[in-house]
Amino acid sequence: MNFRPNGIIPALITPLTKNEKLNEKALRKLLNFVIDNGVHAVFVAGTTGEFYGLTHEEKRELMEITVDEVKGRVPVYAGTGAITTKECIEITKIATECKVDAASVLTPMFISPSQKEIYDHYKAIADSTSLPILLYNNHPKTGVTINAATVAKLADIDNIVGVKDSTGDMTLTGEYIRLTQGKNFSVLMGRDTLIHSGLCYGASGAIAACANIAPKICANIYDKYVAGDIKGSLEAQYAIAPLRVAFTLGSFPTVIKEALELLGINAGPCMQPIGHMTVEEKEQLIKILTQMNILK
């Protein structure tokens, strides 16, 4: 399969109304904001997009609106992860019907599958669709890790085209890269603070939550690197670090949503039980965004 994930791909929040319904107008505005600021693809219904609180029909609506608004300007990725293989296949079918360009499948959560079971899980999903499949490893959130040897084996399946690694473990990420050399397979960083280091090691880009708020800075990390401006890429990486560290000011992903509100994008609330930032936390966020020249 020729599809090759690369570049900076924002893991988009899902804009919601006060009643926790999809805010279509805000979603379309967010999509244009990140595309106009140089991202290389968009990714909806992922962890940052609160996929765990969306029904299948809400995911369908989210994907349909995204594909309609993007209009082929950049590839559209959609999260189709779930606990069971059966449900992953069902959501991937919806993604196919919505004509997204690729599906990202998070490892199962709550349960603890073996490496063979993880392999069988992803193979069954890949066999069920013609879509390119991106593996998604996020041990801090799921308690499950795809070992490097398992990733290398899965990379031999034609439409499994890459992996996003959000562990922050560069040794593991490096093994993903080393063991898939020579294959049509991409390794994408899932930690925004490690995009530059991943590129230096051989990663193909990143799926970055910070790119919701600072898409241009994130895009610069990649664009400057591939243009040979290694120093400029590193400077952009340094520039994004305070924003990523600021995510700890509130429960995920409320900091991203409240930052977008400050920028004029009606991101709305997070799904309960996640609430708003405190006044003190928001003051700190405003200070960081102002120092970064994101908020004028």
DSSP per-residue string spanning 203-233: --EEEEGGGGT-HHHHHHHHHHHHTT-HHHH
Structural domain includes residue 140: yes
Active-site hit among 164, 224, 257, 282: 164
Q: Coil, strand, or helix at residue 150?
A: helix
Q: What is the mean pLDDT of the chain?
A: 97
Structural domain includes residue 294: no
Is 90 exceeded by the pLDDT of residue 296? no
Structural domain includes residue 196: yes
Active-site hit among 119, 122, 136, 225: 136
Residues that constitute the known binding site: 48, 207
Sheet holding 186-189, edge to edge: 7-10, 205-208, 186-189, 160-165, 133-137, 102-106, 76-79, 42-44
Structural domain includes residue 253: no
Structural domain includes residue 101: yes
Q: What is the pLDDT of residue 189?
A: 98
Q: How far apart are the first and last CA of the chain?
A: 44
Structural domain includes residue 273: no
Residue range 211-222, pLDDT digits in tens: 999 999 999 999
Structural domain includes residue 233: yes
Is 90 exceeded by the pLDDT of residue 194? yes
Helix (H) or strand (E) holding 78: strand 76-79
Annotation marks residue 164 as catalytic: yes
Residue range 277-293, pLDDT digits in tens: 999 999 999 999 999 99
Residue 29 lies in domain: 7-239
Residue range 235-289, pLDDT digits in tens: 999 999 999 999 999 999 999 999 999 999 999 999 999 999 999 999 999 999 9
Structural domain includes residue 80: yes
161: CATH: 3.20.20.70
Cis peptide before 253 (omega within 30 of 0): yes
Residue range 53-105, pLDDT digits in tens: 999 999 999 999 999 999 999 999 999 999 999 999 999 999 999 999 999 99
Q: What is the pLDDT of residue 1?
A: 80
Residues that constitute the known binding site for pyruvate: 48, 207
Annotation marks residue 136 as catalytic: yes
Tokens of 126: 């890949």
User: How do 186-189 and 160-165 pair as beta strands?
Assistant: parallel
- Number of domains into which the chain is organized: 1
